[in-house]
Amino acid sequence: MDLLSIDSLSDEQIAALLDAADQFAAGASASDRHEGRIVFNLFYENSTRTLMSFAAAAARLGATPLTLPVEQSSVKKGETLADTALTLNAMRPDALVLRHGANGSVAAVAELMDCPVLNAGDGTNEHPTQALLDALTLRQHFGRVEGLTVAICGDIRHSRVARSNRKLLERLGATVRLAGPPSLLPDELPGRGEIGAAIGGADAVMMLRVQRERLHGELGDGPGEYLARYGLTAERLARAAPHAVVLHPGPLNRGVEIADEVADHPRSLILRQVANGVAMRMAVLDLLLGA
């Protein structure tokens, strides 16, 4: 089995992953469960949270995580993604965690591999383990996901996090509102986008990073302008429900999409998301590595 998309998972598997991750988050030990197994990490795009939490998760399951330093690899000699995948496959890893800038690339690699492949982000398409850890974080805080209203705001156009979260949170019975600057909304979402309205009364506000690496400079905002017009300031957060929590997948552009005082707010769950990233990736690797 591969984890390419939220669509890869049945409702039963999602429920089981949330329960297992809850136990790992509470400290359940599984340190000898996958001893002798090897998990390869292959990241063509930068990462701190996803890469390190997959590595930590594999280690906490007793498996050995091995990370290819792509910048020093034969990728730099022009080796194609397919040849790199076939090369790694010949070393017989027990799982491959892959992040790549092209939509659909992880699914294409999965066709070539004999082991389970996990999507750690493919272009602007999906980032399923991020959505799973976000759902876990919301469920831990509220005791449920069903019935929550979650506003996902910012650079929706480039966000694989938004796409996976929308699918997962709606499947779990939440209402998802998407909003962002007009130029950062996908074409299929015309007429949406007023951030204050999306945040109004919401139980949770998930802010997204402005992905300047995918923007080619076309945003044209001056210093402080994005925060003032579209960012999560304390004033905007005050429009949400009084109990509303703040999420952000990271990395943060402080002072751009999120004000310092909101990022560090008592109702910010951003570091809880990071902690849950290890627990959820343990659950996901445990499922895919099998018995």
Residue nearest to ligand ASP (CB): 209
Answer for which of 93, 181, 193, 249 binds ligand ASP (CB under 6 A) is 249
CA atoms within 13 A on the CB side of 187: 0
Contact partners, residue 255, CB within 8 Å, separation at least 6: 224, 227
211 binds ligand ASP (CB under 6 A): yes
Helix (H, G, I), strand (E, B) or coil at 130: helix
250 binds ligand ASP (CB under 6 A): yes
The values of phi and psi at residue 45, to 5°, are -120, 155
User: How many Cβ atoms are within 10 Å of 222's Cβ, its own excluded?
Assistant: 7
167 binds ligand ASP (CB under 6 A): no
Contact flags string 102-131 toward ligand ASP, x per CB under 6 A: -------------------x-----x----
Instruction: Give least dist CB 49 to ligand ASP, A.
Output: 6
Residue whose C-alpha is closest to residue 137's, from 204, 198, 210, 232 = 204
Binders in 191-210 for ligand ASP, by CB under 6 A: 209
State the angle between helix axes of 81-90 and 105-112 in degrees (0 to 180), rounded to the nearest 10. 40
State the number of binding residues for ligand ASP (CB under 6 A): 8
Instruction: Give least dist CB 253 to ligand ASP, A.
Output: 9
In the complex with ligand ASP, the residue whose CB is nearer, 34 or 127, is 127
- Give the dihedral of Cα atoms 140, 146, 149, 150; nearest 10 deg: 50
In the complex with ligand ASP, the residue whose CB is nearer, 94 or 134, is 134
In the complex with ligand ASP, the residue whose CB is nearer, 23 or 211, is 211
Binders in 10-49 for ligand ASP, by CB under 6 A: none
Residue whose C-alpha is closest to residue 54's, from 135, 124, 121 = 121
In the complex with ligand ASP, the residue whose CB is nearer, 116 or 121, is 121
In the complex with ligand ASP, the residue whose CB is nearer, 128 or 249, is 249
In the complex with ligand ASP, the residue whose CB is nearer, 246 or 289, is 246
Instruction: Give least dist CB 277 to ligand ASP, A.
Output: 10
Cα–Cα dist 154/181, whole Å: 7
Helix residue ranges, H only, the chain = 11-25, 49-60, 81-90, 105-112, 128-142, 160-171, 195-199, 225-230, 234-237, 260-263, 270-289
The residues that touch ligand ASP, with contacts defined as CB under 6 A, are 121, 127, 160-161, 209, 211, 249-250
